[in-house]
Amino acid sequence: MVDVVLPELGEGIEKATVSYWHVQVGDAINEGDDLVELTTDKATFNVPAPASGKVAAILKEEGDEIKVGEALARIEE
Amino acid sequence: MKFDFLDLGFVDYASAYQLQKKIWQATFDRDSEGVVILAEHNSVYTRGRSFNESSMLKDKDFLNRQGAQIYDIERGGDVTYHGPGQIVLYPVLNLKFHKKDLRAYVYDLEEAVIKFLQHLGIKGFRNQLQRGVWTESGKISSLGVAIRRWIAFHGVSINVNPEKKYFNYIKPCGLEAGDITSLFDIMGPEIFQHQLKPILRNSFSQVFN
Per-residue pLDDT at B186 exceeds 90: yes
In sequence order, which residues have a C-beta less than 8 Å from that of residue B59 and are 6 or more positions away? none
User: Cα separation of B141 and B133, whole Å?
Assistant: 5
pLDDT for residue B178: 86
Question: For B10-50, what is each residue's pLDDT tens digit?
Answer: 999 999 999 999 999 999 999 999 999 999 999 999 999 99
pLDDT of B26: 97
What does the DSSP 8-state code read for residue B56? B
Q: Can you tell me whether residue B62 is helix, strand or coil?
A: helix
CB B97: neighbour CB atoms within 10 A? Answer: 16
pLDDT of the residue at B129: 80
Q: Cβ atoms within 10 A of the Cβ of B124, count?
A: 21
**Mind telling me the catalytic residues of B?**
173
What's the full length of chain B, in residues?
209
Task: Give me the residue from A11, A12, A44 closest to B74, CB to CB.
Answer: A44
Chain A residues whose beta carbon lies within 8 Å of the beta carbon of residue B102: 9-10, 13, 40-41, 43, 45
Cβ-Cβ contacts under 8 Å, B103 against chain A: 9-13, 40-41, 43
**Spatial contact of B23 and B91, defined as CB atoms under 8 Å apart:** no
Report which residue type is found at B144.
G
Q: From the CA atom positions of chain A, what is the Rg in Å?
A: 12
Residue B177's pLDDT is 86
Least CB-CB distance to B145: which of A10, A12, A42? Answer: A42
Task: Please give the pLDDT value at position A67.
Answer: 94
pLDDT per position as a tens digit, B123-164: 999 998 889 999 999 999 999 999 999 999 999 999 999 999
Chain A CB contacts of B147 below 8 Å: 43-45
Stretch B169-194: mean pLDDT: 94
Return residues 50-79 of B near A (CB < 8 Å).
Answer: 50, 74-77
pLDDT at B174 over 90: no
In this prediction the ipTM stands at 0.89
- Tell me the whole-structure pTM to 2 decimals: 0.94
Distance from CA of B126 to the nearest CA of A (A): 13
B34 neighbors B91 (Cβ within 8 angstroms): yes
- For B80, the enclosing helix (H) or strand (E) is strand B79-82
Contact A45/B105, CB-based, under 8 Å?
Answer: no
pLDDT tens digits, one per residue of A29-71: 999 999 999 999 899 999 999 999 999 999 999 999 999 999 9
The 10s digit of each residue's pLDDT in B50-108 is 999 999 999 999 999 999 999 999 999 999 999 999 999 999 999 999 999 999 999 99
A44 contact B CB<8A? yes
